[in-house]
């Protein structure tokens, strides 16, 4: 299904004003990797977002009940997902999409309110083009490297939770609290850079996300 004329005009204006998105090459690589994948009999689930999604190496084998496509790329902001929403989500005609964005936005000192405005635009497009699509927004995660921004991340997560209210096809899943020991960060969940997760961290994500993945029809 094609986007409405208003969205086409918006992105034409955006491209003329700002030029190509800096992640054009990464998105082209994703397309090369996935465009030959034919949709099978299993429900198709797209995971998209920043490096926490991209680096989930065993995500396909973790969820054998569905067909998983990983369209995440490192450094992604929510605005990049908005820019490439056709290429990263809609072109693959998923039954459900999991979105992890906001981590890099807050680190880049964008205000939670502005990030939510971009999320709202993402949802408006998906809801218009695919009213049958199940959408899951994954909260931002805590990390060692960005722990000093935790107040901003928590405010964004609170706004994300509120954003999905009264949207029957949109869900919110919290990965923040489950990565804490009480009020302190569980530091054993990360690799050396203190930002990205190790297999134990992804074990936690798996346990939280699995019910929503297997519920895909």
pLDDT digits (tens, 9 = 90+) for 137-187: 999 999 999 999 999 999 999 999 999 998 999 999 999 999 999 999 999
**Mean pLDDT to the nearest integer, 129-139:** 98
Strand 67-70 and strand 44-49: the pairing is parallel
**So what's the pLDDT on residue 6?**
54
Domain boundary assignment for the chain? 42-214
Region 54-79: what's the mean pLDDT? 96
Tell me the C-alpha distance between 73 and 55, whole Å. Answer: 8
Query: Which of 77, 137, 131, 145 lies closest to 109 in space, CA to CA?
Result: 77
Instruction: For domain 42-214, give the CATH superfamily.
Output: SGNH hydrolase (3.40.50.1110)
At 5-58, the pLDDT tens digits run: 455 555 544 544 444 567 899 999 999 999 888 888 999 999 999 999 999 999
Residues 72-106 have pLDDT tens digits of 999 999 999 999 999 999 999 999 999 999 999 99
SS3 content of the chain, % helix, strand, coil (to 5): 50, 15, 35
């Amino acid at each position: 299904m094609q986007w409405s004329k208003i969205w086409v005009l918006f992105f034409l204006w955006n491209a003329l004003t700002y030029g190509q998105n800096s992640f054009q090459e990464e998105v082209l690589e994703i397309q090369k990797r996935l465009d030959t994948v034919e949709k099978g009999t299993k429900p198709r689930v797209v995971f998209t977002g920043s490096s926490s999604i991209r680096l989930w190496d065993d995500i396909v084998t973790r969820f054998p009940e569905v067909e998983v496509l990983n369209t995440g790329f490192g450094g992604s902001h929510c605005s990049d997902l908005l820019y490439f929403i056709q290429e990263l989500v809609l072109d693959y005609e998923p039954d459900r999409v999991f979105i992890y964005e906001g981590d890099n936005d807050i680190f880049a000192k964008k205000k939670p309110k502005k990030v939510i405005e971009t999320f709202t635009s993402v949802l408006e497009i998906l809801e218009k083009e695919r009213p049958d699509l199940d959408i899951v927004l994954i909260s931002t995660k805590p990390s060692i490297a960005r722990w000093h921004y935790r107040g901003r991340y928590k405010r964004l997560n609170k706004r994300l939770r509120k954003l999905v209210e009264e949207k029957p096809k949109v869900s919110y899943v919290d990965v923040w609290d489950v990565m804490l020991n009480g009020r302190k960060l569980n530091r054993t969940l990360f690799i050396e850079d203190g930002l990205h997760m190790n297999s134990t961290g992804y074990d936690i994500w798996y346990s939280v996300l699995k019910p929503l993945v297997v519920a895909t029809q």
